[in-house]
Amino acid sequence: MLTVDLNGEAVAYPYDVLQEVQVVNDTVGGQPVAIFWTAGTASALDAGSVAEGRDVGSANAYSRLVDEQELLLGPRPGYTNPKHMINTEALQRTYNNVRMKWDPHFEWVVNESAPWTPLPKPLDQIALALVGTCGAYRMEIDYPFDAANYYGDPSFKEIPIHTPPERLDFAHEHYDRTHVTKDPSAGFPLSHLLEFAGDGTIGRFVDPAISFSGFLPQPRQLIQETAPAAASRLLAAGAEAALLVPC
């Protein structure tokens, strides 16, 4: 059992529970913490359990504050037990907020069909695509996303990779656009990926880039129609991997 004691509040996390969920996002004593369980690192004190064939593992607690920002941490790639992640404080607040303000029938969408896929070759040989969900569009060329729609806008836009950043704007009402307004590359880093392609960090920057507006309480059309269409467009352009920039 791992115990976290902060500011007069103590919380115990049993190892058998941690082994099942792997990561717990919690708040103890007013401080956001993350509890990680790692397999295969039992100590000499666990010799009896190891002899019985049980993987005791080990657990550690870490702060979730980085540069005054509270992070929400997830399990290792490929781990598929998402119900435990939904029952965290930050996700529950988001769930309640979306149901109260926009869609009373909102439910989390759990991806159980796309396995963890490693890169097929080194990054400097990869044709890399850019996919953003910050609502980027080209001013005076593209019609902005329908950001005010209660159910979101499932469409996507193809943005040529040589589009100057100053020609981009963002249509999205569910995040603070202060930083992308000052520097569009913060939300749609065309210039950075062009630089990486130029210096050989990546093999090639796939043209076009794809832009979505990420707020979609009802994602059926995205899942069944527009996301497959965007993926097909990138595959036709030769993409071997994609960098997702969410907002």
Q: What pLDDT sits at residue 27?
A: 85
Select the highest-mean-pLDDT range: 108-122, 124-138, 175-189. Answer: 124-138
Q: Provide the pLDDT confidence category of residue 72 given band limits of 50, 70 and 90.
A: low
pLDDT tens column, 208-242: 999 999 888 888 899 899 999 999 999 999 999 99
CB contact at 8 A, 71 and 64: yes
Give a yes or no: residue 107 inside a domain.
no
User: Rounded mean pLDDT of 157-181?
Assistant: 92
The Cα 228–Cα 114 span in angstroms is 13
Region of 200 (left: φ > 0; alpha: ψ -120 to 50; beta: rest) is left
Q: How far is CA 103 from the centre of its chain?
A: 22
Whole domain around residue 208: which residue ranges?
Answer: 123-245
Q: What pLDDT sits at residue 46?
A: 47
Q: Looking at the predicted structure, is the pLDDT value of residue 138 above 90?
A: yes
Give a yes or no: residue 225 inside a domain.
yes
**Number of domains the chain is built from:** 2
Residues 230 and 144 in one domain: yes
Residues 75 and 128 in one domain: no
Residues 128 and 237 in one domain: yes
Residues 131 and 76 in one domain: no
